[in-house]
Structures are given as C-alpha cells and as structure tokens.
Chain A
C-alpha cells in the first residue's frame, strides 16, 4: 500500500515529474497522429488492392497467356468454397482518340463485367454503371459501338481537392478510341493480323470510367469486353488463351487455406495437360500478387516507426534524469524505508511503479490529445487550405481522399505499451541506484 501512496505522492508533489509526463504525452501524441495516418493509408491501400484483384489469382506474367482455362474454371465452379471466378486478358495496347494526333501506351484488361464484379470490387469503381454492370460495355450514345471503360485518370482531371470533374457523360460524348495490340501466337511470336500486318486495331467507344483509388491502375488501364480483348491479343484462336483467373472465396474461408486448395486443384489439373505454357502459371493470394506495391508502403511505415523509435530515446533520457533527481532528493525517504525493513526489491517496485504511473498518465494525455486532433484533422486541413492554400498532400497529384483518422485500437495499445516500457527503461538505472543506497550512510547526522 505504501508503494502506491508514495508513487502517487511523488507524482503530485514533485513538479519536475510534470516534465516527464509532458515529454511522454508529446511523444505519444505525435506517434498516435502519424501512425494513425500512416496505418490508415496502408490499410486503405491494401483494401483497394484486395478489391482490385479478388482473393486469389491463377495467372502468368507472360503476355502469351495459357490455354485450357475453361476446363479449370469448370473445376473451380464445382468447389463449395469459391464464390466467383473471372477469366482476364491482360496486355499492352496503343490508344488514340478519333481525330487526335496523340497516341498513348496503356494496359488493357479484357473482362466479363458481371463475372469480374462477382469476383472483385469492379462494379463499385464505376461511375455510371455501378448498379447496371452488365451494360457497362454498351455506350448510351451509340449502342452499336463496342464500349470500353477508362481508368479515371486517363479520362478526367482532378481538381486541387482531388475531385474529378465529370464534364461530359458517355450519354452526351461521342468519344471513339482506336485500340491497337500485338497479337501473339502460343509460342510468343507475332501473329499475322490481316490488313495491318503485325497489329490488330479495333475502335471502342467510351462508356464509363473506373476509379479503383489505385493511382497506377487508374492512370494506365482500359477495360475491354473479354471476347474483344481476346481477339485483339490473338488469344481467341483454337486453344483459347487468357492471362489470369481471378477468384473470390466464400465468406469465412481462410485466405491461405483457400489459396492452398486452389494450388492443389491447379497442380492436379496441370499434370493432366502436357502444355509448357501451364508451367508459367502461378497461384497467388491477393497479398502476394500485389506484394511489389504493398511492400513499398509497408517499408515506409516501418522506417517511420524506426525513426520515431530513435526520437523517443530523448524521452527515455528525460525519464532517467527526472528519476535521478527525485531519487537524489528522496534519499532520506529511501533510507527510512530501508531502516524499517523494506527490501531492495520493494524499493525497486516503488520507483518502477512510479515510472509506470508517469508512462500511463503521459500516454493517456497524449492519446486523448492525438485522438481529438485526429477527429478534426480533415477540418483543420480544409481550414488551412481555405486560408493559406496548404494541403498535407496535393490532391491533384496524389490519389488520396480524406486524411485517414480512425485510431486503431491495436496501434494505440502498442504505442501506450511502448511509452510505458520506455518510462520503465529510463527509470531502471536510477531505481537500481536507489535500491543500493545504504540507510546507515544516508541517515548519518552529518548527512541530515
């Protein structure tokens, strides 16, 4: 009991302790704000990537693709853990707008919009056909023209606040795009493509935009009807080919377990077919498939955490000094305590308990401050933008909407735990010295 009383007494009476509490609170405040924003950005980015590819991808990097996909899709369709399957064509193409001299290199994705929406979040990325995905490739202006969906950054500009200016709708605009591909044979060579020699060209009409929220995707991908893309890429010949099968698992299916079952099904399927192209195919979870993009953000988050860890060392120093001072001033208390039989371990417990209180109080103050700041962070940014033109991120460059401000409990617990551990680490040396004090030396008349 005396340990609690003394710890609280030191906390209240020794004003120097307030500095330690303030330093911990400041550190926790900054770390809560920065980590919440970073964690929010990373988890939002992951969620968008997940939504873009579905749960699992059976695919190849090679633009030649692989055959027999219809048979494998049938096998997948019989499995009870699979909710949706979408075959996809991926390639590069050149696009040019009718009447324009400009040519652009883009990526094309040939999809069946209904199947792809059952498998991924495709329908939610559409502006005009979110609830009518089956008609996404039917332009309102000219139903006879084959439609295409443009990555939003290929079609529209962003203003300073990150909003797109939907100046013209597909119902009003008559935008035709000539899309050209290299058709490839199953051996990867250039296929003869009729009139134009080595390339296939077909005209598509703008029918919608897709905003996945992923900058690279939205600025480089055009979605085409599956069959048309297959024809353009020379994959519609007998022994039809595709580049990937996107798969969505039913709710409650564990991602790794689901991917393992698909891998096993693919291995069995592959063994029955003697085709070299099938050897280039891999089965990946969405995390592995998008690893190159996600890993970069996760590394940045890890580096920021390491930097804050370094800066936090100063807080450990402050705790050390404050405790050193308190123990220097309270040596008589310690002498008296020890003279009435308090053990070294109890002295250590007393001061570590005190350090715990300092850490806890500082963390609570910092967390509450950080939480309140985060609640208003978007309002603060808006105010700064309206009055001083300042934005944390230039929304016309970065595909970021509101600043993430949802404090994650797990992150908060880790921060508070780290702050308390830092306080205990800072208090360790002074506490050890306090425990070693000898009452006979401290309580000498000459020392009083």
Chain B
C-alpha cells in the first residue's frame, strides 16, 4: 500500500517522470507502427496471391491435355474444394490510338475460377450480380468477350493515385486487338515446330480492379477455349498449362500438397504418358510458397529496421536512469525516514524498480494506443499529407496496393511492451540500488 502511495505521489509531484513515460510511449508506438505496417503489407501481399491464384498452384513445364480428368481426380480428394484450369501466354494489346501495352493473357474458365479464387469481387461490372462471372457481352453474342486489368487501360492519377472510373467504364463493350503466339507443330518438320504469331479481336466484357497494381497492370483474361483455338488451332483436346486449386477449409496444407502431388504423378504417368523426368519438373506450390523469397526479403528489411530503432530506443534506459537517479537524490530524506522506520533495503529498492515498471507499463500502454490509432488511420494521415503538402507518399505503382495495408500486429505488440517494461525496470535498477544503500544516520543528521 505504501509503495503504491509513493508511486502515485512521485508520479503526481515529479512531473519530469512524464518525460520518461512519453519517451517509452514514443518508442513503443514507433516499433508497433513499423511492425504492423510491414506485417500487414506482407499479409496483403500473400492474400493477393491467394485471391489471384487460389491456395495451391500446379504449373506444368509444358502444356498438357485432359485437364478435366485431372480436375475430377483432384475433386475426389477430400482436401480439395475446387480446381480450375489456366492456359497462359504473353501478348501485346492494342487499346486504341497509339496505345499498346505488353500483357499476360490468362485463358480461364470464368465461372469455375470464381469458385477457386476471389476474382469475382474484383470485377467492376459483375461483382454485384448474383450469377457466376461470364465473358458474354450483352447485345454482342457473336463477339469474344474478355476481362482487362484496370491499369492496362489507364494509369492512376499522378497526384491522387485514383483511377478515372468514368472514362474506364466507357471502355466496356469496346473492341481491342491482341497479338500473341505459340509454337505450332510443323507438318514438314514435326520435331522442331515453328513459332506462329496470332492476332484476335475481343470485346471488353468487364474490368478487373484487384487494388494490386502489378496484377491490374499485367493481366488480360480470355475464355480458355478461345485462347486455345487461337494458340493451338490444330489441337482437338482441351489444353492447359496450370491448375489453380482451392483447398477445403481447415485443411492441413502440407498433407493436401502431398495428395495433390501423388494425384498428379499418377495422372501424368497414366494419362499423359509423361516421363518421370518431365513429371519432376512440374511445380506444385502453395500461393504463399510462391511468394516466399520476396516475403523473406521483406521480413529481413523489417528486422533490420526494428534493430536500428531498437538500438536508438536503448536511450530510453538512459533517460529513465537519469530521471530516477534524480528522484532518488532528491528524495533521500524520504528514503532515510522509511529505512529508519524499519523498511528493508530490498523494499526500498523495490519501490523504485516497481515505479520503473509502472512507468514502463503506462508508457507502453500509451504507446500501444498511439500505435493503434496511427496504424489504423495511416491512410487518412497520408491523405492529409497529400492535401497539406501536395506530396503523395503512397502510390500503387510503387508500392503495389491502392491503400496502405493497416492491420495492427498484436502478436508483436506483446513482446514490444514487455521489452519496454523490462528496459524501464533496467533503467530504474541502479538508482534503486543507490536508494537501498542510503544510510539514514547520514541523511537525517541535524547538521
């Protein structure tokens, strides 16, 4: 009770203690903001991959046929909820006068892919419709429909980083020209094959706005059967070079990967007659594994930044030491009176160490609140800076996402709070020892 009374009294009377609380709060909030922004960026990055390609991706070294048989086999595995085939190629898209873009073409099954990935929510026109997405263009039944990434059509505004949706929607129903190509088996030299360029016209049926600039700028989506007809007109069997897979909820990913690999080996050997070597070159990875190298680099950057700020925050210990040393010096008489009344040296030391812990806890608590407020409102703050200073800090073309990912990382907040409290206790330790060593007989002498 006495200790609590003294802590509250020192807190009330010695205003300088607020400086140490402020310093702890500042360091804690800074570290929480840095960790939260990094981890939420990484999470958004990984989630964007899942939304784009599903949970697991099977990429074959060459195109393969009978993919529907393989998907049937996959869907018999309890761990797989749905799967869809992809045929991909690169191409050039002519959007209008002098407007040519290099794009990646994905041949997709529009309805089925919506069950594997979250791409329906990104379609500007069809996202609110109850039906599955479709490439059909109203009033143009003969025309091939296609989806185009929003940043393929236009770049976001240089100053606001916003897209001009009115002009973008005008592109719906417009015809564009795409060129691509593939190796086609040559009748004269079947072993070599020859590369053939192909062009096709398609109508923009919808626009894809994922909020991830790199995806929005890169992809054009066409019906898989049309793309196959363009690329491989002589092939009768349906072709794909990638399978995107959605796992059932709460599935053990590693176990699912093992089963998918097993199913692929059997399918490729039995139905495709592939050699073991070719089967080995098939890449089967989760969406997270595909991003792991970049995520590792981001985590390393976060670690280095935290280390730097952690070292600088070390000066908080010095600050608390100075303040507590000053309090001990100024309160020598209090300490002497306490000791003369029978308080043990350890009790006296604990008054100051405990007070240090209190300062650490109060500072950390304040820091957590500040960090939370700052992280949650980072997009608003960024807008203020843009409005006041005319400086656009966050651009999707540089940092991928249209909005700054801003989820607070509570898992990291706890170790930061504990470290800050420990730092405050360490800072208070030497002054506490000095206080414990105070000899009342020397302090309370009349002269």
Chain A interface (Cβ < 8 Å from any Cβ of B)? 16, 19, 22-23, 26-27, 30, 34, 62-64, 91-94, 96, 98-107, 178, 180-182, 184, 187-190, 196-199, 201, 292, 296, 299, 303, 307-308, 310-315, 317-318, 320-322, 324-325, 328-329, 390-394, 397-398
Interface: B210 (CB within 8 A): no
A324 x B90 contact (CB < 8 A): no
A96 x B181 contact (CB < 8 A): yes
By beta carbon, the residue of chain B nearest A91 is: B100
Q: Which residues of the other chain, A, contact B89 by a CB distance below 8 angstroms?
A: 103
B97 x A64 contact (CB < 8 A): yes
B22 x A317 contact (CB < 8 A): yes
Interface: B104 (CB within 8 A): yes
Interface: B180 (CB within 8 A): yes
Q: Which residues of the other chain, A, contact B62 by a CB distance below 8 angstroms?
A: 101
Q: How far is the CB of A345 from chain B (nearest CB, A)?
A: 26
- Known contacts: A92-B92, A92-B100, A105-B91. The answer to whether A311 contacts B319 by CB under 8 A is no
Q: Which residues of the other chain, B, contact A106 by a CB distance below 8 angstroms?
A: 102
By beta carbon, the residue of chain B nearest A97 is: B195
Q: Which residues of the other chain, A, contact B195 by a CB distance below 8 angstroms?
A: 96, 98, 178
A103 x B26 contact (CB < 8 A): no
B181 x A94 contact (CB < 8 A): yes
Task: Return the 6 tightest CB-CB contacts between A and B, nearest first.
Answer: A105-B102, A188-B97, A188-B98, A64-B98, A103-B90, A92-B102
- Known contacts: A106-B102, A318-B322, A328-B326. The answer to whether A30 contacts B90 by CB under 8 A is no
Q: How far is the CB of A288 from chain B (nearest CB, A)?
A: 12
- Known contacts: A94-B90, A94-B91, A199-B179. The answer to whether A26 contacts B315 by CB under 8 A is yes
Alpha-carbon distance A201/B199, docked complex (angstroms): 13
Interface residues of B in 61-90 (CB under 8 A from A): 62-63, 89-90
B296 x A394 contact (CB < 8 A): yes
Task: Determine which of B26, B27, B92 lies in contact with A181 in the assembled complex, contact meaning CB atoms within 8 Å.
Answer: B92
20 intermolecular pairs with C-beta atoms under 8 Å apart? A22-B318, A30-B311, A91-B100, A92-B101, A94-B181, A94-B197, A99-B192, A103-B90, A105-B102, A182-B94, A299-B393, A313-B23, A314-B315, A314-B316, A314-B319, A315-B315, A317-B23, A321-B19, A328-B330, A394-B300
Q: Which residues of the other chain, B, contact A91 by a CB distance below 8 angstroms?
A: 100
Interface: B410 (CB within 8 A): no
B90 x A105 contact (CB < 8 A): yes
Q: Which residues of the other chain, A, contact B129 by a CB distance below 8 angstroms?
A: none
- Known contacts: A26-B311, A320-B19. The answer to whether A397 contacts B294 by CB under 8 A is yes
Q: How far is the CB of A108 from chain B (nearest CB, A)?
A: 10
Q: How far is the CB of B91 from chain A (nearest CB, A)?
A: 7
Q: Which residues of the other chain, B, contact A96 by a CB distance below 8 angstroms?
A: 181, 195
Q: Which residues of the other chain, B, contact A30 by a CB distance below 8 angstroms?
A: 308, 311-312
Interface: B395 (CB within 8 A): yes
Task: Determine which of A103, A198, A296 lies in contact with B181 in the assembled complex, contact meaning CB atoms within 8 Å.
Answer: A103
Q: Which residues of the other chain, B, contact A292 by a CB distance below 8 angstroms?
A: 397
Q: Which residues of the other chain, A, contact B395 by a CB distance below 8 angstroms?
A: 296
Alpha-carbon distance A99/B183, docked complex (angstroms): 8
Chain B interface (Cβ < 8 Å from any Cβ of A)? 16, 19-20, 22-23, 26-27, 30, 62-63, 89-92, 94, 96-104, 177, 179-183, 192-193, 195, 197, 199, 293-294, 296-297, 300, 304, 308-309, 311-316, 318-319, 321-323, 325-326, 329-330, 391, 393, 395, 397-398
B97 x A187 contact (CB < 8 A): yes
Alpha-carbon distance A196/B98, docked complex (angstroms): 20
- Known contacts: A63-B99, A307-B30. The answer to whether A325 contacts B326 by CB under 8 A is yes
Alpha-carbon distance A312/B30, docked complex (angstroms): 12
Alpha-carbon distance A324/B99, docked complex (angstroms): 67
Q: Beyond A22-B318, A182-B100, A312-B312: 9 further Cβ-contacts under 8 Å?
A: A19-B318, A92-B102, A93-B102, A102-B90, A103-B91, A178-B195, A188-B97, A307-B309, A321-B319
Alpha-carbon distance A189/B308, docked complex (angstroms): 55
Q: How far is the CB of B429 from chain A (nearest CB, A)?
A: 14
By beta carbon, the residue of chain A nearest B102 is: A105
A311 x B27 contact (CB < 8 A): yes
Alpha-carbon distance A195/B181, docked complex (angstroms): 15
Task: Determine which of A23, A188, A322 lies in contact with B99 in the assembled complex, contact meaning CB atoms within 8 Å.
Answer: A188
Q: Which residues of the other chain, A, contact B91 by a CB distance below 8 angstroms?
A: 94, 103, 105
Alpha-carbon distance A103/B325, docked complex (angstroms): 71
Q: How far is the CB of A103 from chain B (nearest CB, A)?
A: 4
Task: Determine which of B16, B192, B309, B325 lies in contact with A311 in the assembled complex, contact meaning CB atoms within 8 Å.
Answer: B309
Alpha-carbon distance A199/B314, docked complex (angstroms): 63
Task: Determine which of B297, B312, B329 lies in contact with A26 in the assembled complex, contact meaning CB atoms within 8 Å.
Answer: B312
Q: How far is the CB of A306 from chain B (nearest CB, A)?
A: 10
B100 x A318 contact (CB < 8 A): no
A201 x B101 contact (CB < 8 A): no
Q: Which residues of the other chain, B, contact A184 by a CB distance below 8 angstroms?
A: 98, 100
Most buried by A among B16, B19, B104: B19
Q: How far is the CB of A282 from chain B (nearest CB, A)?
A: 14
Q: How far is the CB of B73 from chain A (nearest CB, A)?
A: 25
B183 x A101 contact (CB < 8 A): yes
Q: Which residues of the other chain, B, contact A105 by a CB distance below 8 angstroms?
A: 90-92, 102-104
B318 x A23 contact (CB < 8 A): yes
A94 x B99 contact (CB < 8 A): no
Q: How far is the CB of A324 from chain B (nearest CB, A)?
A: 7
Alpha-carbon distance A180/B182, docked complex (angstroms): 12
B98 x A62 contact (CB < 8 A): yes
Alpha-carbon distance A64/B89, docked complex (angstroms): 26
Task: Determine which of A19, A101, A308 lies in contact with B312 in the assembled complex, contact meaning CB atoms within 8 Å.
Answer: A308
By beta carbon, the residue of chain A nearest B19 is: A317
Alpha-carbon distance A184/B177, docked complex (angstroms): 13
Most buried by A among B90, B91, B296, B316: B90
B315 x A318 contact (CB < 8 A): yes
Task: Determine which of A99, A197, A324 lies in contact with B326 in the assembled complex, contact meaning CB atoms within 8 Å.
Answer: A324
B181 x A393 contact (CB < 8 A): no
Task: Determine which of A94, A320, A321 lies in contact with B92 in the assembled complex, contact meaning CB atoms within 8 Å.
Answer: A94
Most buried by B among A34, A91, A182, A393: A182
Q: How far is the CB of B278 from chain A (nearest CB, A)?
A: 14
Q: Which residues of the other chain, B, contact A107 by a CB distance below 8 angstroms?
A: 102
By beta carbon, the residue of chain B nearest A33 is: B308
Q: Which residues of the other chain, B, contact A313 by a CB distance below 8 angstroms?
A: 23, 26
Q: How far is the CB of B379 from chain A (nearest CB, A)?
A: 15
- Known contacts: A92-B101, A314-B313. The answer to whether A201 contacts B197 by CB under 8 A is yes
Q: How far is the CB of B46 from chain A (nearest CB, A)?
A: 17
Alpha-carbon distance A91/B100, docked complex (angstroms): 8
Q: Which residues of the other chain, A, contact B90 by a CB distance below 8 angstroms?
A: 94, 102-105
B312 x A196 contact (CB < 8 A): no
By beta carbon, the residue of chain B nearest A321 is: B322
Q: Which residues of the other chain, B, contact A23 by a CB distance below 8 angstroms?
A: 315, 318-319
By beta carbon, the residue of chain B nearest A293 is: B398
- Known contacts: A96-B181, A105-B103, A198-B177. The answer to whether A325 contacts B322 by CB under 8 A is yes
Q: How far is the CB of A205 from chain B (nearest CB, A)?
A: 15
Q: How far is the CB of A112 from chain B (nearest CB, A)?
A: 23
A314 x B23 contact (CB < 8 A): yes
Task: Determine which of A94, A322, A394 lies in contact with B297 in the assembled complex, contact meaning CB atoms within 8 Å.
Answer: A394
A199 x B398 contact (CB < 8 A): no
Q: How far is the CB of B230 from chain A (nearest CB, A)?
A: 12
Q: Which residues of the other chain, A, contact B319 by a CB distance below 8 angstroms?
A: 23, 314, 317-318, 321
Most buried by A among B19, B312, B398: B312
Q: Which residues of the other chain, A, contact B19 by a CB distance below 8 angstroms?
A: 317, 320-321
